[in-house]
Amino acid sequence: MISCSRNGNKREHGCLGVFLPNEYGKNAAESRARQAEHTMGSGFLLMKVFSKRVYVVQSLKDKRLYLVKRFEHSDNPVFPWQYSGDQPPEFRISTGTRHQCEVTLSGSCFNSLETHYTYENVPNERVYELYFEYLNGGSLESLRDRYYEREARIPESFIWHVARTLCEAIRRLRTTPTHVPGIPSLTAPAQRPVVYHRNISMKNIMLDYRNSTYGGNPFVEHKYNVLPRVILCDFGQAAVQGDDETKLPKFNLFPEEQRLNYWEDSYAIGCVLRSLCMTHIPFPQDSRQPPIPGQTKDETERWQHRPDSRRLDDVNAYPVGTPYSDDLMNMLKNFEWDDQENRNIADQGCRNACAPDLNFIINTLEPRAVAAVDALQFEHTPLGRYYDPRDVSWTRPWAPMPFICNLFNMDRSHRRIYKSTRREDYRICGLDYSLPDWDRIDQEFLGPSTQPPPRDGY
């Protein structure tokens, strides 16, 4: 805070933020793509920095939040933000037909690429800035960790919901999309190469909550807090059928596995779903118990060992909350494999042991997950609050606040801004806010619910 004033009953405070103009100067602007200039307006306000070349901005025109990822060309990529081909993988495989990407993804289960800019940083060095929709629910990993902190079970309805979305994503990646039923097609659907994500993990699965359509507190008793949108993100390590396997990205879950295969994505889906069932079981070090005796994956490395360190038979044996249904447990047991407690799935002879084929995922697991979620939506609502016991929105993070420069160490702020955005044309701007009248406030600010799930519910 750099200023504070009072004018009658009006109190204000101000701070220093960062403005990113929608322009790069005369020379760079000539080569920069202008696909969405009419929607992005004059520029953006820097909101939150996640890591180098990954940050959140807010458009000054439409007030929307965007996740920005910046990629720089390199003949020998060393860092995740570098790429060696004609296009970075997250642009090459992305949503929307207007972006001239090589492989177009369709469906709400993928993060929408709203627009992109390209320009020449130095001669023959092309830079991409990708503007994705901002997802307000955080990652699935964050949700899992919040439930683990409470030693609570994640609602079974939510696990089925995640299963349905991941199955749909795999189906769309592995099969050629067809025309919309009921709409005649003059031409046959274009053949699209099979896509391999190669990095499915809880960090790359995001949640997004829709706004309430009625009055009252939008964070309680709302069915979309039970079934938020689940999105598979981050195609930075993805590849398509026919790619040169000697040039595959090497930052995926199995960097030693430099060949295209189906078991990586299938195994990863099984890990995600099984891990969601184990948040109520403490790790040995948290319960002051010795590591699991007699097995290599003894949970000393926590989620690096789970879920392979435990069998699904242990899930319901641990007495917390309502046990999961036999239907869910039996479905997920298809992802278990012999000696999983002591061997790595990438070891020779194990690769295909726990990876159900595409037929199981599309024709067995997905229909069952769809039926389970539909049953929840159309179930009779009893008196009282029906959705609250299944509500997962209490794990939702707060919305990002504007990036604030350190007034007393501006050099450090400048270094961080440039290191994150690689923009030299940013400008420090003033941000002024009106403070509420604290004397008249009689309720807490609305925000993500902090109410934990009921211990005796699921």
Q: Is the predicted pLDDT of residue 392 greater than 70, yes or no?
A: yes
Q: Is the predicted pLDDT of residue 442 greater than 60, yes or no?
A: no
152, 145, 160: which is closest to 303 by C-alpha? 145
pLDDT, tens digit, 9 for 90 and up, residues 141-172: 999 999 999 999 999 999 999 999 999 999 99
| Mean pLDDT in residue range 349-356 | 77
Report whether 324 contacts 458 (CB < 8 A).
Answer: yes
Taking each helix axis as running N to C, give the angle between helix 263-276 and helix 156-174, from 0 to 180 degrees, rounded to the nearest 10: 170
Q: In angstroms, rounded to a whole number, what is the distance separating the alpha carbons of residues 196 and 102? A: 14
All residues at 6 or more sequence positions from 346 whose CB lies less than 8 Å from its CB, including other chains: 254, 256, 257
pLDDT, tens digit, 9 for 90 and up, residues 75-116: 888 888 899 888 999 999 999 766 788 899 988 999 999 988
Residue 177: CB atoms within 10 A of its CB come to 14
Return the higher-pLDDT residue of 322 and 346: 322
| Mean pLDDT in residue range 357-382 | 84
pLDDT, tens digit, 9 for 90 and up, residues 33-92: 444 444 566 789 999 999 999 999 999 888 899 999 999 998 888 888 899 888 999 999
pLDDT of residue 19: 94
pLDDT of residue 157: 93
pLDDT of residue 261: 87
Residue type, 135: L
455, 394, 379: which is closest to 157 by C-alpha? 379
Return the higher-pLDDT residue of 6 and 165: 165
pLDDT, tens digit, 9 for 90 and up, residues 286-302: 998 999 999 999 999 99
Return the higher-pLDDT residue of 276 and 345: 276
Residue type, 86: D
Q: Is the predicted pLDDT of residue 338 greater than 70, yes or no?
A: yes
pLDDT of residue 184: 43
221, 226, 248: which is closest to 237 by C-alpha? 248
pLDDT of residue 439: 56
Q: In angstroms, rounded to a whole number, what is the distance separating the alpha carbons of residues 379 and 327? A: 18
pLDDT of residue 411: 93
| Mean pLDDT in residue range 242-251 | 84
Q: Where are the domains of the chain?
A: 3-135+400-435, 140-179+191-395
**Alpha-helical segments (H) within 77-204:** 89-92, 140-150, 156-174
Structure tokens at 42: 């004059």
| Mean pLDDT in residue range 188-194 | 64
| Mean pLDDT in residue range 353-377 | 89
Report whether 93 contacts 110 (CB < 8 A).
Answer: no
Structure tokens at 181: 């039923």
Structure tokens at 305: 């060992």
Q: Are strands 10-21 and 3-7 parallel, antiparallel or unpaired?
A: antiparallel
Report whether 259 contacts 241 (CB < 8 A).
Answer: no
444, burial (CB in 10 Å: exposed 0-12, middle 13-18, buried 19+): exposed
Return the higher-pLDDT residue of 198 and 256: 198
Q: Is the predicted pLDDT of residue 317 greater than 70, yes or no?
A: yes
Q: In angstroms, rounded to a whole number, what is the distance separating the alpha carbons of residues 76 and 78? A: 6
pLDDT, tens digit, 9 for 90 and up, residues 407-418: 889 999 999 999
225, 230, 195, 188: which is closest to 210 by C-alpha? 225
pLDDT of residue 342: 93
Residue type, 356: P
pLDDT of residue 333: 96
| Mean pLDDT in residue range 321-334 | 95
pLDDT of residue 239: 92
pLDDT of residue 154: 96
87, 240, 229, 254: which is closest to 174 by C-alpha? 240
User: Concatenated DSSP letters for 291-349?
Assistant: PPTT-S--STTGGGTTTTTS-THHHHHS-SSSPPPHHHHHHHGGG--TTTTTS-TTSTT
Report whether 404 contacts 220 (CB < 8 A).
Answer: no
Report whether 264 contacts 252 (CB < 8 A).
Answer: yes
| Mean pLDDT in residue range 217-243 | 82
Please give the DSSP secondary-structure letter assigned to residue 452: P
All residues at 6 or more sequence positions from 134 whose CB lies less than 8 Å from its CB, including other chains: 56, 64, 65, 66, 67
Residue 77: CB atoms within 10 A of its CB come to 19
CATH of 140-179+191-395, one of 3.20.20.100, 1.10.760.10, 1.10.510.10, 1.10.287.70: 1.10.510.10
Return the higher-pLDDT residue of 333 and 433: 333
Matching residue, tokens 């706004």: 211
* Beta-bridge mates of residue 110: 232
Structure tokens at 200: 């499915």
In this predicted structure, which of 59-73, 204-218, 258-272, 439-453 has the lowest mean pLDDT? 439-453
Give the CA distances from residue 377 to residues 212, 230, 323, 356, 387, in Å, rounded to whole numbers and listed in that order. 16, 16, 21, 28, 10
Return the higher-pLDDT residue of 142 and 391: 142
Give the CA distances from residue 388 to residues 145, 155, 163, 352, in Å, rounded to whole numbers and listed in that order. 20, 11, 21, 40
Return the higher-pLDDT residue of 210 and 65: 65
Q: Is the predicted pLDDT of residue 21 greater than 80, yes or no?
A: yes
pLDDT of residue 37: 45
**Alpha-helical segments (H) within 366-428:** 366-378, 410-421
pLDDT of residue 26: 42
pTM of the predicted model as reported, rounded to 2 decimal places: 0.86
